[in-house]
Amino acid sequence: MKIAMIGTGYVGLVSGVCFSDFGHEVVCVDKDATKIAKLRDGKVPIFEPGLEALMARNVAAGRLSFTLDLAEAMRGADAVFIAVGTPTRRGDGHADLTYVMAAAEEIAHALDHYAVVVTKSTVPIGTNRKVAETIRAANPAADFDVASNPEFLREGAAIDDFMRPDRVVVGVETERAKKIMADIYRPLFLRDFPVVYTGLESAEMIKYAANAFLATKITFINEIAALCERVGADIKAVSKGMGLDGRIGNKFLHAGPGYGGSCFPKDTKALARMGQDHASPIQIVESVIKVNDEIKRRMIEKIEDLCEGSCRDKVIAVLGVTFKPNTDDMRDAPALTIVPALVGAGAKVRVVDPEGRREGEHLLPGVRWMEDAYSAAEGASVLVILTEWNEFRALDLQRLARGMADARMADLRNVYAPADARAAGFTHYVGVGR
């Protein structure tokens, strides 16, 4: 099959590279000339384990290329994927469809043969029908179908998620479109990964409902963690006891500083707005959004308590600022709320992150970037673990404690056992739900 992938952001680039590894011919399109030039030079603009090598392999095989020219990319394409950003719209919380509709307009003008126009971006219910209307209005003679094919990629594990998915969701309305989508995903079908075919609206809803449920699960365990702190229970034991129930499962039951990233914050807001607009409010999701914001403020209070009420002139070492490990993504990361609050309170904040500095330098003004945890902790009053990168999971706690002016730890990911931290010389340890 030949595929045109519009957008070389996280979703578009990972999807395009993986489709080419299936054996399809993929042309990725973007309006950003600098990004396209870098991709042609073999440089990946995002950090995703394994992506650069996989991209290089398929470029070398002649299956993957990059262009600024949409018409060129669409020439002879069986499917055209829209994988552009849908950020939260300012003012009302809805997903901003500006880029999606602009892509639909351009597709309409370049469409000179039958193709399936597939929305890969996360879009509100009814968007695929609007895409079809936009194409028909711009090119009444266009021969096409639309399909909804939401992504379920976890940053840091995206390639494995694409190649070994829990499921593939495809919203289609014609057998012709279904046949093309089946051919595109045939390598997965042959390996018995489930492909769910459904209507357009159901496919769109599945994506929002799945993300909202996971965000709810995270927020639920964080609320239970707060109660654990009051009653003397340990959230690690509680999470394990809950997660062993097959009806619940152990994933997303890790207490911490709240969810962030490119999906959960914007998708929960968009779903809540859709519910309000259709007079069917989703009060659970509305509460999740509110509580997640409160959780971040609660983390700030934990650090302030370790500073005995005032962070002014205290040196605070922060380990990790990306919203999760194995990514350079800073979007809606808890660090973007917590770190500026510490800086604003007069703290001297030092930051370490294996991949977050490129984005973080302009997002976190007023901090000092360090090369490793030990140099960051030297002379510090408080050590904060904010992102659970592997290199922060096996630190020499005694060395850290010895180098600090006042050995206090705010372990906001519950990486270390409180007893181990105290035995290593930390006079104060604060976790989440412990």
Cα–Cα nearest to 412, from 297, 311, 262: 297
266 in a known ligand binding site = yes
3-state secondary structure of 241: helix
Alpha helix positions (H), 244-364: 264-277, 283-306, 335-344, 357-363
358 Cβ neighbours under 8 A, 6+ residues apart: 328
316's tokens: 């605070």
Cα–Cα nearest to 65, from 116, 16, 120, 15: 16
Q: Cβ distance 421 to 397 under 8 Å?
A: yes
Positions marked active-site = 263
Nearest-angstrom CA–CA distance, 63 and 234: 52
Nearest-angstrom CA–CA distance, 319 and 260: 17
190 in a known ligand binding site = no
3-state secondary structure of 413: coil
136 in a known ligand binding site = no
Q: Which helix (H) or strand (E) holds 428?
A: strand 428-430
260 in a known ligand binding site = yes
Cα–Cα distance list, 264 to 122, 240, 333 (Å): 11, 24, 11
What residues are paired with 116 via a beta bridge? Answer: 79, 145
122 in a known ligand binding site = yes
Q: Annotated binding residues for NAD(+), as ranges?
A: 30, 35, 86, 122, 155, 266, 331
Would you list which residues are annotated within the binding site? 30, 35, 86, 122, 152-155, 207, 252-256, 260, 266, 324, 331
